[in-house]
């Protein structure tokens, strides 16, 4: 059985969507192929010798600039994968309406094999190579975290850009996902997982969609299986458990999984995994070393949040979950997608399901360019207005307003409240837009509808600027 690469899978999914679109073949081809991919080899002196590292940054589409997309650190990273991930960014950015083209970066490295100091050296050298080529720049190309990277790496990259471009007043906007004290924005670290939660909640607000899967009620006590307990998987699990009382019955990691039909305590499991690097002997559930069966076990919702192509033609037929929410990029191969659609599984595709990260990255980038935090100008004015309203109500009724109400008003709106509200709105809109495109164009599944809507939008942009 030959397995399609992620790039081949993505291209086939696009071709499928194009059947529902009026975009001409030449424009479609222009949209599909990446504009440029840089391969970079660079050396770093570590442990008394020069180590050569290989990395890539692909600019898939510049129909809008800057282009945007994460940088991943992974031993499996390769040029084709980076190109596929950059393509996903183009479609994702279009569908959630952030003003960016698509890009992605990768460095072939196992971060666990290097110390923090060594990783800093490697990251700074990689950043220098990218900055020199305008592959990191607030107006041209703005990376973010992805698999194997986080706010720490983004802080190193931002600092390297500042050193190399000291006169750029917008230097902080060269990368998003930075720590809060270094130009980052509250809510970015957990944004992708939070977005996964928001889009699932939106799905549950549509009784017709629930009916198709014979699901009822709210998320309370729904059984959820999560693959990948990193940034995205952990946060999605945590919010679904804490806010929505869903039951996380399985967590699958690369070196074994944890099962508990009564629901795993996500926070305790995270503490254990961070400390031991494995779920073996974790008291929160039953440890299982071989995880193939765990992915195909029965859940109301399966959330793959690790890496690409984990559901392929070999295991797709055995999947028993009704709803799959792609928190990871490309976790379902093209062939598996076809099989699952035939089985009646609903898939909320990656280009909307995990768009929360880029949505909040957008807020961070705008905040860096404005040089002022959101809500700063209005906060005091809103407070005074609310105070006048309380005074008016009290004087008209002759009663004093209960303290609990007053405290709520007096707390005002913090920046994090605005970020969450913006993210919630973008996730709801993305789901509704794709759902509407699916119904209107009689498209059988959400993924094809999402790609069609994104391609139509990008085509207008290309046609209006001329190719």
Annotated active-site positions, please? 104
Q: State the nearest-atom distance from the C-beta of 27 to ligand NAD, in Å.
A: 27
Stretch that binds ligand NAD, among 230-238, 366-374, 385-393, 412-420 (CB under 6 A): 230-238
Decide: is 326 part of the binding site for ligand NAD (CB under 6 A).
Answer: no
Decide: is 258 part of the binding site for ligand NAD (CB under 6 A).
Answer: no
Output the CA–CA distances (angstroms, integers) from residue 29 to 97, 393, 452, in the order listed.
22, 62, 14
Residue 309 to residue 306: CA distance in whole angstroms: 10
| Residue 380, helix vs strand vs coil | helix
Q: State the nearest-atom distance from the C-beta of 306 to ligand NAD, in Å.
A: 4
413: Cα separation from own chain's centroid: 25
**At 101, which helix (H) or strand (E)?**
strand 101-107
Provide the 10 A C-beta neighbour count for residue 409.
Answer: 15
Decide: is 68 part of the binding site for ligand NAD (CB under 6 A).
Answer: no
Q: Are 231 and 192 in contact (CB under 8 A)?
A: yes
Decide: is 329 part of the binding site for ligand NAD (CB under 6 A).
Answer: yes
Q: State the nearest-atom distance from the C-beta of 225 to ligand NAD, in Å.
A: 11
Decide: is 305 part of the binding site for ligand NAD (CB under 6 A).
Answer: yes
Q: Which is nearer to ligand NAD, 210 or 328 (CB)?
A: 328
Decide: is 141 part of the binding site for ligand NAD (CB under 6 A).
Answer: no
Q: Which is nearer to ligand NAD, 206 or 274 (CB)?
A: 274
Q: State the nearest-atom distance from the C-beta of 138 to ligand NAD, in Å.
A: 19
Q: State the nearest-atom distance from the C-beta of 132 to ligand NAD, in Å.
A: 26
Q: Which is nearer to ligand NAD, 234 or 374 (CB)?
A: 234
Binding mask 147-166 for ligand NAD (x = CB under 6 A): xx------------------
Stretch that binds ligand NAD, among 31-39, 49-57, 213-221, 225-233 (CB under 6 A): 225-233
For the record, the structure tokens of 201 come out as 């909640």
Q: Which is nearer to ligand NAD, 146 or 312 (CB)?
A: 146
Q: State the nearest-atom distance from the C-beta of 141 to ligand NAD, in Å.
A: 17
Decide: is 337 part of the binding site for ligand NAD (CB under 6 A).
Answer: no
Burial class (CB in 10 A: 0-12, 13-18, 19+), 38: middle
Output the CA–CA distances (angstroms, integers) from residue 101 to 37, 86, 229, 349, in the order listed.
14, 9, 29, 19
Chain length of the chain = 467
Residue 8 to residue 3: CA distance in whole angstroms: 10
Strands 101-107 and 67-68 turn out to be parallel
Decide: is 219 part of the binding site for ligand NAD (CB under 6 A).
Answer: no
Provide the 10 A C-beta neighbour count for residue 288.
Answer: 17
Burial class (CB in 10 A: 0-12, 13-18, 19+), 421: exposed
Decide: is 192 part of the binding site for ligand NAD (CB under 6 A).
Answer: yes
Stretch that binds ligand NAD, among 17-25, 201-209, 251-259, 386-394 (CB under 6 A): 251-259
**Applying CB under 6 A, which of residues 252, 302, 303, 454 lies at the interface with ligand NAD?**
252
Q: Are 116 and 150 in contact (CB under 8 A)?
A: no
Say whether the peptide bond before residue 438 is cis (omega within 30 degrees of 0): no
Q: State the nearest-atom distance from the C-beta of 253 to ligand NAD, in Å.
A: 5
Q: Are 58 and 34 in contact (CB under 8 A)?
A: yes
SS3 of 203-224: HHCCHHHHHHCCCCCCCCCCEE
Q: Are 202 and 423 in contact (CB under 8 A)?
A: no
Q: Which is nearer to ligand NAD, 59 or 353 (CB)?
A: 353
Q: State the nearest-atom distance from the C-beta of 43 to ligand NAD, in Å.
A: 25
Stretch that binds ligand NAD, among 158-166, 227-235, 412-420, 425-433 (CB under 6 A): 227-235
Provide the 10 A C-beta neighbour count for residue 99.
Answer: 13
Decide: is 123 part of the binding site for ligand NAD (CB under 6 A).
Answer: no
Stretch that binds ligand NAD, among 60-68, 142-150, 396-404, 446-454 (CB under 6 A): 142-150
Stretch that binds ligand NAD, among 127-135, 140-148, 366-374, 449-457 (CB under 6 A): 140-148
Residues that bind ligand NAD (CB under 6 A): 145-148, 192, 227-233, 252-254, 305-307, 327-329, 354, 357
């Amino acid at each position: 059985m030959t397995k399609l690469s992620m790039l081949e899978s993505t291209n086939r999914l696009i071709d499928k969507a194009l059947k529902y679109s009026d975009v001409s073949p030449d424009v479609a081809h222009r949209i599909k192929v990446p504009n440029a991919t840089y391969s970079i080899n660079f050396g770093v002196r570590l442990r008394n010798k020069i180590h050569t590292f290989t990395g890539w940054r692909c600019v898939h589409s510049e129909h809008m600039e800057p282009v945007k997309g994460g940088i991943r650190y992974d031993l499996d990273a390769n040029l084709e994968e980076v190109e596929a991930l950059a393509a996903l960014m183009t479609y994702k950015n279009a569908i959630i309406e952030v003003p960016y083209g698509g890009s992605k970066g990768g460095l072939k490295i196992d971060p666990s094999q290097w110390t923090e100091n060594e990783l800093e050296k490697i990251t700074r050298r990689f950043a220098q190579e990218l900055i020199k080529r305008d592959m990191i720049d607030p107006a041209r190309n703005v990376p973010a975290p992805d698999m194997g990277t986080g706010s720490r790496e983004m802080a190193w990259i931002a600092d390297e850009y500042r050193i190399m471009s000291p006169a750029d007043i917008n230097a902080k906007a060269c990368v998003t996902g930075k720590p809060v004290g270094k130009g980052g924005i509250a809510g970015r670290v957990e944004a992708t997982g939070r977005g996964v939660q928001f889009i699932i909640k939106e799905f549950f607000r549509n009784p017709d969609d629930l009916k198709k899967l014979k699901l009822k009620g709210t998320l309370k006590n729904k059984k959820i299986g999560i693959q990948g307990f990193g940034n995205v998987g952990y946060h999605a699990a945590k919010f679904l458990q804490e806010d929505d009382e869903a039951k996380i019955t399985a967590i699958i990691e690369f070196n074994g999984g944890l099962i508990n039909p009564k629901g795993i305590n996500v926070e305790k499991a995270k503490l254990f995994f961070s400390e031991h690097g494995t779920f073996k002997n974790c008291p929160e559930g039953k440890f299982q070393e071989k995880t193939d069966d765990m992915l195909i076990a029965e859940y109301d919702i399966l959330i793959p949040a690790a890496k690409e192509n984990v559901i392929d033609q070999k295991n797709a037929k055995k999947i028993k979950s009704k709803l799959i929410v792609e928190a990871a990029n490309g976790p379902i191969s093209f062939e598996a997608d076809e099989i699952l659609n035939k089985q009646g599984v609903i898939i909320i595709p990656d280009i909307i399901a995990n768009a929360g990260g880029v949505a909040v990255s957008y807020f961070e980038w705008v905040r860096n360019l404005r040089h002022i935090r959101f809500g700063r100008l209005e906060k005091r004015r809103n407070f005074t207005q609310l105070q006048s309203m309380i005074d008016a109500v009290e004087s008209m009724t002759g009663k004093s307003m209960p303290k609990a109400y007053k405290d709520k008003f007096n707390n005002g709106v913090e920046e994090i409240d605005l970020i969450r509200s913006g993210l919630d709105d973008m996730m709801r809109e993305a789901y509704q837009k794709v759902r509407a495109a699916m119904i209107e164009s009689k498209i059988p599944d959400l993924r094809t509808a999402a790609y069609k809507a994104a391609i139509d939008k990008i085509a207008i942009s290309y046609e209006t600027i001329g190719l």
